[in-house]
Amino acid sequence: MSNSAVQTESHESHGPELLHHFVSAEQQRNTVSLAMWLFLATEVMFFGGMFCAYLIYRTWYYAEFAAGSRSLNIWLGTVNTVVLIGSSLTVALGVRAAQMGKRKLLVVLLLLTLVLGLTFLGVKAIEWHDKYVEHHIPGASFSVADLVREYPQLHIDQRHAQIFFSLYFAMTGMHALHMVIGVGLFLYLTYHAWKGTYGPKYYTPIELGGLYWHFVDIIWIYLFPLLYLIDRKPLK
């Protein structure tokens, strides 16, 4: 009883968003921000393992990686890069809107981010469907007979090509899963932004959601050249 009385009293001096084990709002922000960066460091190592596997197999089976890369749709890949970077802009402007207490602008920017994120996933689904139609999904019906015919000078080994496409689906799949989680997070943030939870005094969730979204953007900034742009120059 006496405890809750103390809590009620202390809230009057600083508002409900400050948790009691923090000295100040700034200390609370710095602490959770550091925790988010530590989580992102673990994500760097998670994706780092796949990038490492990619690097090793690319040096071993360069011809198959070149042919596999050529079979990806560079236009859809470029459009998706533009879409994702656009969503990073709307997130960055959203954090700014929250800092300045512009509730309506924040909600609009978060909704735009959701639209762009879902557009990215939609384009990704089209690309994966193309790979399904072409029998480029690793498994029982996998075949790169089309690529062998198209690029006879590369001497493509079907098993090596399957490794490229396994890595393609693992990397873009894990990236897309992160996007799906990001969409979920931003639905939550949009709901609370609409209710007016965030403002100049308390915008930490927007800032942290933004850090996550930008991180997923950076992963794609590397996936785009590593998967789509391996070897686009005219073949001799």
Partner 1 sequence: MSEHVMSSKMYYGIWITLMVLTVVTAAVSFIDLGPFNTIVALSIATFKAILVVLFFMHVKYASEKLTKLVIASALFFLVLLLSLSMIDYLTRYLA
- Site residues (vs partner 1, CB under 8 A): 26, 29-30, 33-34, 37-38, 40-41, 44-45, 48-49, 51-52, 55-56, 59-60, 74, 77-78, 81-82, 85-86, 88-89, 91-93, 95-96, 99-100, 200, 207, 210-211, 214-215, 217-218, 221-222, 224-226, 228-234
Cβ closest to partner 1, residue 132 vs residue 225? 225
Cβ closest to partner 1, residue 7 vs residue 27? 27
State in angstroms the smallest separation of the CB of 146 from partner 1. 21
State in angstroms the smallest separation of the CB of 145 from partner 1. 26
State in angstroms the smallest separation of the CB of 70 from partner 1. 11
Cβ closest to partner 1, residue 182 vs residue 210? 210
Cβ closest to partner 1, residue 82 vs residue 145? 82
State in angstroms the smallest separation of the CB of 48 from partner 1. 5
* Integer Cα distance of 51 and 10 in angstroms: 50
